Structure 1
Amino acid sequence: MGWWPFGDSSSADPSLPTRQERQKCWESRDAYFACLDGVGVVNAGTEGKVCAAENRVYEKSCAQSWVTYFNERRKLAFRQKDMIAQANAQNATAKR
């Protein structure tokens, strides 16, 4: 029929990641992003071979759709941070 969260565990969809698999994905993402932060790279995949080991674990631990989502979310977060900083700077100069 459909997905029902309170059903029998034997009827669970085997394609859904378990809690441990999700945790491993998030930990590998955090390690990879920490490496990117350490070398000053915003766009994942543009760092060359610097974070290759972390990237390999990240892409192995997470579904490709999650990798794409997390990478796009990272770029968006940096853009938002830059826009907020620019707005604050403009606001500070406008008050003078």
Structure 2
Amino acid sequence: MGWFSPSDDKTATKPTSADSIAPNRSQRVRCWEARDALFKCLDANSIIDSMKDKDLVTEKCGKEDVEFRKKCVASWVDYFKKRRVMEYKKEQMLKGLAKEGAVKMDVPLPPPKA
């Protein structure tokens, strides 16, 4: 498969016109509320990576996961779940650095080039 050639992958789904419509404000709010409910359940059950631990998520937080998938665009579901894991890893790394005595340094960024 080349960079600009059409994909021969039969498993790839083609986007529909409904996929390209951006959610409005109330839809976004419902999505975020469903995300927060799922993440609260995941926290209560000590589940960090809901993509890796799918069976456990289905068992412990199945209702919340279904609502999250129903109320959010699929790309947002993946994004939020991956971001949760990234944020957890970042937090753990910062805690580890703090234990080692690392000190946060505020370094000013250079001005942007015109």
CA distance in 2, matches of 1:37, 1:28: 14
Whether 1:82 aligns to 2:88 is no
Structure 1, residues 48-92: CA drift from partner, whole Å, max 9, x if none?
Answer: 410000000000000110000000100000000000000000117
Give the one of 77, 90, 93 matched to 1:67.
77
Which residue is equivalent to 1:10? none
- Please report the RMSD computed on the Cα atoms of aligned residues, expressed in angstroms: 1.4
1:28 is aligned to 34
TM-score normalised according to structure 1 size:
0.78
Q: Under a length normalisation based on structure 2, what TM-score does the superposition of the two structures give? A: 0.66
**Matches of 2:82 and 2:66, distance apart in 1:** 18
What corresponds to 2:22 in structure 1? 16
Runs of 4+ in 1 over 4 A off after TM superposition: none
Structure that is richer in helix per residue? 1
- How far apart in 1 are the matches of 2:24 and 2:75? 16
Structure 2: distance between partners of 1:30 and 1:15 = 23
Name structure 2 gaps, 5 residues minimum. Answer: 1-19, 103-114
In structure 2, distance between residues paired with 1:65 and 1:21: 14
Gaps (5+ residues) in structure 1? 1-13
- Please state whether the residue corresponding to 2:82 is helix, strand or coil: helix
Deviations 1:8-60 (A, max 9, x none): xxxxxx81211000000000000000000000010014134100000000000
